[in-house]
Structure 1
Amino acid sequence: MHQQMTATAVTLGQIQQQLATVADNIANVGTTGYKSRDAKFIDLLVQQIDNMRPADIDGTDEANRLTPDGIRRGSGARIGDTSLDLASGSIKQTDNPLDLALTDDHQFFTVALTSGNGTATTAYTRAGDFNVQPDPADPNTLRLLTKSGMAVLGTNGQPITIPAHYQSIHIDRTGSINVELASGAQVNAGQLGLVTVSRPQLLESQGNSLYTLPNLAQLGIGLNQVVQQVPAADGSVAQGKLENSNVDLTKEMADLINLQHNYQLNARSISISDQMSGLVNSMLH
């Protein structure tokens, strides 16, 4: 009985984690470029408890028995995998020249993410709601940044900069940035560093629709096995548009209700087990 209570308590903790995943999806239903996650449960260790066969006691023949002797006692369940859904969200028109959407499911923008100790690492995002800010080192230059202030990287891995006081900006589907100055001169400001992530389940969320990769060397995986630069001909940039979150609110609400029912059922199971333990103790005393 106590083992059953332990198994149920373990499952309750995992249900809470799945509830947190669903709640996170619902909270980000309006977040640009957000990709939903789905948690899957798997069984923990299952113990086979064999009873003494009746044939060993009175010679009863059980050759035609259809069910195995004994019982299988589980140890609860845990979340085995939280998969990232890369399905495209709906595209909305904004007509802002710095708003960019990617129409290919597995393509990402690359940005520079600076950690607390000042180390910069490459992060990946589908959120193309970019803006420009003056470069502190050069007043005649603007830096292309994400909404959270991260530098957008080009194909060379360096932050993209744009001439200040530009008149118009055009970004084609390949990610090439062409700027028209007030004088009418045309300037190429580089090309967006677009990549394809072939193993998206390795991506780790950093918030603000940003993802990074774990230490691939420890996993025995090369970076080129996970991330490949997008050839210019395969670019899928759409200017003046943004990709909405791909969260299916109806599905998430249904999952939330089911999880609440599962949680209540498991909690009720612990309560009943506790009552039965109390009844047994009162009978023994």
Structure 2
Amino acid sequence: MNQSMITATNSLRQLQNKIDIISSNVANADTTGYKSKQATFTDLLVQQINNQPVVSKEVGRKTPDGIRIGTGAKLAQTAYNTSQGLLENTGRALDIAFTKENQYLKVLVQTNGMSEVEFTRAGALEVTPVGNHTSMLTDGNGNPVLDEYDNMIMIQGNVKNYAINQNGRLQVTYANGTTGSFNLGVVQMNNPQVLEQDGNNLLKLPQNVNAAQIYTDLSGANRGQISMQQGALEKSNVDLGMEMTDLIKAERSYQLQSRAITISDQMMGLVNSIRS
């Protein structure tokens, strides 16, 4: 395999990764609270082939010594676009939308019999009955929403009304006129780029990562930093126009690299067909 085929093959693999990222963004354009991802590329190592084995023979040369040959490109970084999405008013009491960047709800997710705290900006909350006139506050996937102390929010009795203020305090008014309140568990992400997608619009921490370096619990005196709106949902921040433009560029680059492999193969065929 010649150098041009190696270079084109390396680039094809990375371009496929970029197309996959764009496809994920387009597929989630209507997903509540979804944050798009952006891919950037960098060059792989460059090989230099010297023209002369002896440097003294290049005295007086006007152009740089040696020929630099690239070996393709690689995906350098995949970063979340954490910008605020547009708000859509729903009028539903259990719908909330964050109005500040990098704030997330804490939810408890069961995976292979293990419980793990994960994070979401999808604010379409539900109340799920669990028996004995008790209900549990969950996200749209049925995962329990946690309070500021990482406890599940259990609501007992017949509820007449729900009210959620801008600092994430849920107040419940029961049918008998009594009230109860809960503080929704909210975190401020200090380094959201290290988060991993876990499906169902959830993000989680990688293994062996110090959580204190990644996010801050907005509990106690920090609850004044929370900013959310009741009766609204945050739409995704996917820009379909930009995504389609990036897709066209990636497809054109993919075609170019594929064509380079085809031409290289034809050249090798011609060389092999030469007879002395």
Aligned to 2:33: 33
Aligned to 1:176: 169
Aligned to 2:179: 186
Q: SS at the partner of 1:152?
A: coil
**Structure 2 residue 126 is the aligned partner of structure 1 residue 128:** no
Coordinate RMSD, CA, aligned = 1.6
| Aligned amino acid, residue 157 of structure 1 | D
Assess if the C-alpha contact under 8 Å between 1:175 and 1:235 holds in 2.
Answer: yes
In percent, how many aligned pairs have the same letter? 38
Task: Return the alpha-carbon distance in structure 1 between the equivalents of residues 56 and 194 of structure 2.
Answer: 54
For residues 179-205 of structure 1, what are the alpha-carbon distances to aligned partners after superposition, in whole Å with 9 as ceiling and x for unaligned? Answer: 1111111222x1101100100111000
For residues 231-254 of structure 1, what are the alpha-carbon distances to aligned partners after superposition, in whole Å with 9 as ceiling and x for unaligned? Answer: 111111211100000000000000
Aligned to 1:223: 211
Query: What TM-score results when the alignment is normalised by the length of structure 1?
Result: 0.92
For residues 150-183 of structure 1, what are the alpha-carbon distances to aligned partners after superposition, in whole Å with 9 as ceiling and x for unaligned? Answer: 1101001011122342000111111111111111
For residues 212-247 of structure 1, what are the alpha-carbon distances to aligned partners after superposition, in whole Å with 9 as ceiling and x for unaligned? Answer: 001234xxxx32111101211111121110000000
Assess if the C-alpha contact under 8 Å between 1:216 and 1:223 holds in 2.
Answer: no
Counterparts of 1:44-123 in structure 2, within 5 Å, are 44-52=44-52, 56-57=56-57, 61-62=59-60, 65=62, 67-116=63-112, 118-123=113-118
How far does residue 53 in structure 1 lie from its aligned partner after superposition?
Answer: 7.0
Assess if the C-alpha contact under 8 Å between 1:53 and 1:69 holds in 2.
Answer: no
Would you say how many aligned residue pairs link Structure 1 and Structure 2? 273
Q: SS at the partner of 1:149?
A: coil
| Aligned amino acid, residue 83 of structure 2 | A
Q: SS at the partner of 1:207?
A: coil
**Structure 2 residue 231 is the aligned partner of structure 1 residue 240:** yes
| Aligned amino acid, residue 211 of structure 2 | L
**1:191 to 1:55, Cα distance in 2 relative to 1, 3 A:** closer
How far does residue 4 in structure 1 lie from its aligned partner after superposition?
Answer: 1.7
Aligned to 1:250: 241
Q: SS at the partner of 1:33?
A: coil
Counterparts of 1:140-159 in structure 2, within 5 Å, are 140-159=133-152
**Structure 2 residue 271 is the aligned partner of structure 1 residue 280:** yes
How far does residue 272 in structure 1 lie from its aligned partner after superposition?
Answer: 0.6
| Aligned amino acid, residue 94 of structure 2 | L
For structure 1, list consecutive stretches of 5 or more residues without a partner in the other structure: none
Assess if the C-alpha contact under 8 Å between 1:206 and 1:212 holds in 2.
Answer: yes
How far does residue 149 in structure 1 lie from its aligned partner after superposition?
Answer: 1.1
Task: Return the alpha-carbon distance in structure 2 between the equivalents of residues 68 and 164 of structure 1.
Answer: 81
Task: Return the alpha-carbon distance in structure 1 between the equivalents of residues 103 and 151 of structure 2.
Answer: 19
Assess if the C-alpha contact under 8 Å between 1:55 and 1:62 holds in 2.
Answer: no
**Structure 2 residue 208 is the aligned partner of structure 1 residue 210:** no
Assess if the C-alpha contact under 8 Å between 2:205 and 2:211 holds in 1.
Answer: no
How far does residue 54 in structure 1 lie from its aligned partner after superposition?
Answer: 8.6
Task: Return the alpha-carbon distance in structure 2 between the equivalents of residues 216 and 25 of structure 1.
Answer: 28
How far does residue 279 in structure 1 lie from its aligned partner after superposition?
Answer: 1.3
How far does residue 68 in structure 1 lie from its aligned partner after superposition?
Answer: 1.2
